[in-house]
């Protein structure tokens, strides 16, 4: 099936190239811990496995994976982000590339991480298909993306919200639903699919100055107090896990 609309890769690269001299690091330490815990518990990485991080950016999330002893390659469309990562993150190979069409051979990778990148596509089918191609049998994918069903995410980021903000996001970005992710994963033959929400993913940075001053503290307070029993459906981020 063809994409409904192709990702505007030029705009995407231009937006993130501005981070060639600074780290694109948006989560608090607590926020990273929430996501990393899900990665560890669901993926169960083994020492020596080959992991490719799709949409690695400046390596802000990627570097947290080093402690598992995996061999990591980070790929991103932005040359600026990759140049920053090469200078500041050691022990990881970074390269510029299109995650819809990579250089990797069939059945050559153990783990693929989508670092908050699926929601940067109007239709992420091609990158899910590419991941399936290069994964070994039994290989796993792990993704995290903003949840459309989370009330705060919807109010601040969804284009249909009366108070949504375009500051700090690309034209390609949107919010995702569990239903959409499961549908695409099923289409390409993935097994043991799990898609669920998590909360308490707090932010350290948003581009909007007013957002940093007024909205960020409120969001983090709301996120920290978000009821656990509502997280799987309405948590701020969707965690997606599946196996080939």
101-152: per-residue pLDDT in tens? 999 999 999 999 999 999 999 999 999 999 999 999 999 999 999 999 999 8
Instruction: Let me know if residue 1 belongs to a domain.
Output: no
Please indicate whether residue 142 or residue 171 has the higher confidence score (pLDDT). 142
Domain membership of residue 4 (yes or no) is no
Residue labelled with tokens 């299109």 = 98
Q: What pLDDT sits at residue 43?
A: 98
> Domain range holding 232?
9-243
H or E stretch covering 33: helix 29-43
Do 185 and 127 touch, CB atoms closer than 8 A?
no
Does residue 78 carry a pLDDT above 80? yes
Q: Please count the structural domains in the chain.
A: 1
- In the structure, how many helices (H) and strands (E) does the chain have? 9, 7
- pLDDT at position 147, please? 97
Residue 181 CB partners (closer than 8 Å, separation 6+): 118, 143, 145, 195, 238, 240
pLDDT of residue 210: 63
Place of tokens 């400046």: 58
Instruction: State the CATH number of the domain containing residue 229.
Output: 3.40.50.150
pLDDT at 155: 85
**Domain membership flag for residue 2:** no
């Amino acid at each position: 099936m063809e994409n409904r609309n192709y990702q505007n890769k030029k705009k995407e690269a231009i937006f993130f190239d501005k981070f060639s001299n600074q780290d694109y690091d948006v989560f608090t330490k607590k926020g990273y811990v929430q996501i990393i815990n899900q990665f560890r518990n669901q993926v169960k990485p083994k020492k020596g496995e080959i992991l490719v991080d799709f949409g690695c950016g400046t390596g802000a999330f990627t570097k947290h994976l080093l402690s598992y002893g995996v061999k990591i390659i980070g790929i991103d469309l932005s040359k600026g982000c990759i140049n920053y990562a090469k200078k500041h993150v050691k022990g990881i190979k970074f390269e510029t590339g299109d995650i819809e069409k990579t250089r990797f051979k069939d059945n050559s990778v153990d783990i693929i991480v989508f670092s908050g990148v699926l929601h940067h596509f109007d239709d992420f089918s091609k990158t899910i298909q590419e991941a399936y191609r290069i994964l070994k049998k039994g290989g796993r994918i792990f993704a995290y993306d903003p949840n459309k069903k989370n009330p705060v995410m919807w109010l601040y980021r969804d284009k249909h919200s009366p108070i949504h903000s375009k500051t700090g996001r690309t034209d390609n970005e949107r919010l995702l639903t569990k239903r959409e992710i499961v549908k695409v994963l099923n289409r390409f033959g993935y097994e043991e699919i799990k898609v669920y929400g998590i909360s308490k993913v707090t932010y350290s940075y948003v581009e909007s100055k007013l957002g940093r001053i007024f909205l960020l503290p409120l969001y983090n307070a709301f996120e920290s107090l978000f009821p656990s029993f509502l997280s799987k459906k309405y948590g701020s981020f969707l965690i997606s896990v599946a196996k080939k």
